[in-house]
Structure 1
Amino acid sequence: MRPMMRPIATLIALMLAVSVHAEDAPSSVPDTQELGEVTNLPLPRFVSLKAQEANVRRGPSTDYRIDWVFTRRDMPLQVTAEHGHWRRVIDRDGMGGWVHYIMLSGSRTVIIDEMTPLFSMPDEDATQEAQLESGVVARIRECNVDWCKLSAGGFTGWSPKTNLWGVGETELID
Structure 2
Amino acid sequence: MRIAKTLSTIAALALIAPALAALVERKPPYYASITAAKARMRTGPGRVYPASWIYRRAGLPVKVIGSFNEKSGPVWRKIEDPDGTQGWMQSNLISDSRTAMVTGVIAELKDTPRVAGKVQWRAAPGVVGRIGKCRRGWCWFDVHGRAGYVEISHLWGVEASEALE
Partner of 1:69: 54
Find out whether 1:112 has 2:102 as its counterpart: yes
Candidates 50, 66, 71, aligned match of 2:35: 50
- Secondary structure of the 1:126 match is coil
State TM-score, norm by structure 2: 0.80
Partner of 2:147: 156
CA RMSD of aligned residues (A): 1.6
- Alpha-carbon distance in 2 for matches of 1:106, 1:157: 22
The one-letter amino acid of 1:96's match is Q
- Alpha-carbon distance in 2 for matches of 1:86, 1:42: 13
Candidates 81, 85, 94, aligned match of 1:95: 85
Residues 7-36 of structure 1: CA deviation (Å, up to 9, x unaligned): xxxxxxxxxxxxxxxxx957xxxxxxxxxx
The structure in which a higher percent of residues are helix is 2
Partner of 1:79: 64
How many residue pairs get aligned? The number is: 140
Alpha-carbon shift at residue 167 of structure 1 (Å): 0.4
**Max Rg structure:** 2
Structure 1 gaps of 5+ residues are 1-23, 27-37
1:109-148 equivalence runs, <5 A: 109-113=99-103, 114-148=105-139
The one-letter amino acid of 1:45's match is Y
Alpha-carbon shift at residue 39 of structure 1 (Å): 5.0
Residues 86-144 of structure 1: CA deviation (Å, up to 9, x unaligned): 00001111102100000001110000002010010001111111011111001112201
Partner of 1:15: none
Structure 2 gaps of 5+ residues are 1-19, 70-74
The one-letter amino acid of 1:131's match is R
State TM-score, norm by structure 1: 0.76
Alpha-carbon shift at residue 40 of structure 1 (Å): 3.8
- Alpha-carbon distance in 1 for matches of 2:21, 2:135: 21
- Alpha-carbon distance in 1 for matches of 2:114, 2:48: 50
- Alpha-carbon distance in 2 for matches of 1:104, 1:169: 23
Partner of 1:11: none
Partner of 1:169: 160
Partner of 1:5: none
Alpha-carbon shift at residue 43 of structure 1 (Å): 1.6
The one-letter amino acid of 2:26's match is L
